[in-house]
Amino acid sequence: MRKIICALSLVGALVLASAVNAAAPTSFAGTWALDKSKSQGLPNPLQGADSVSWTITQTDKEITIEQKVTGGAMASGGGPGGPGGGGRGGGMGGGPRTYNLDGSETTADMGRGKSVRKASWSKDGKTLELSSKTTFQGQDGEVTSTSNDKMELSGDGKTLTVTRHSESPRGTQDTTYVFTKQ
């Protein structure tokens, strides 16, 4: 009888461990407002903006991030230097960014260039890493910039922190964006 109880307990523990590991990855979906007072290393155009928000849609297969900037020099909806990946200094160039969540690359045509994007989950499914490599034709030939974002939610799901490392001909920049859920 003891052996049966021990065996059932062991099987139960293994099933529970499997269920925890198979849990769905974090959902970042929602509308997020940038908290400039908690963010660090913001590019100048975003520092002067009245507001910056991200609208994130997420399915099992992909995540799409669209940035909206109001006021300041970036009011047209994004661009060089803002959070987003692509363009000079890591900006969005006004359009949404889409990543496949299965780890495969996506390619976006950007007029004079292209952006190659890739997403990968941490082992625990709580952190999403987004990488982007943008290449376009500049006045002096081909120009390449890269950005790597690490997205994490707070325990209560109300704060999104995005840590970005970007490199471009203008140099290297490390930025921490802190967003609150709307």
- Nearest CA to 24 out of 57, 64, 60, 58 is that of 60
pLDDT tens-digit readout, 4-21: 654 445 545 444 444 444
Average pLDDT over every residue of 45-62: 95
Tally of CB atoms within 10 A around 56? 18
With a pLDDT cut of 90, the percent of the chain lying above it is 64
Q: Looking at the predicted structure, is the pLDDT value of residue 141 above 90?
A: no
Contact 44, 69 (CB under 8 A): no
pLDDT tens-digit readout, 69-97: 999 764 444 443 344 443 333 344 457 99
pLDDT tier, 3 (very low <50, low <70, confident <90, very high otherwise): low
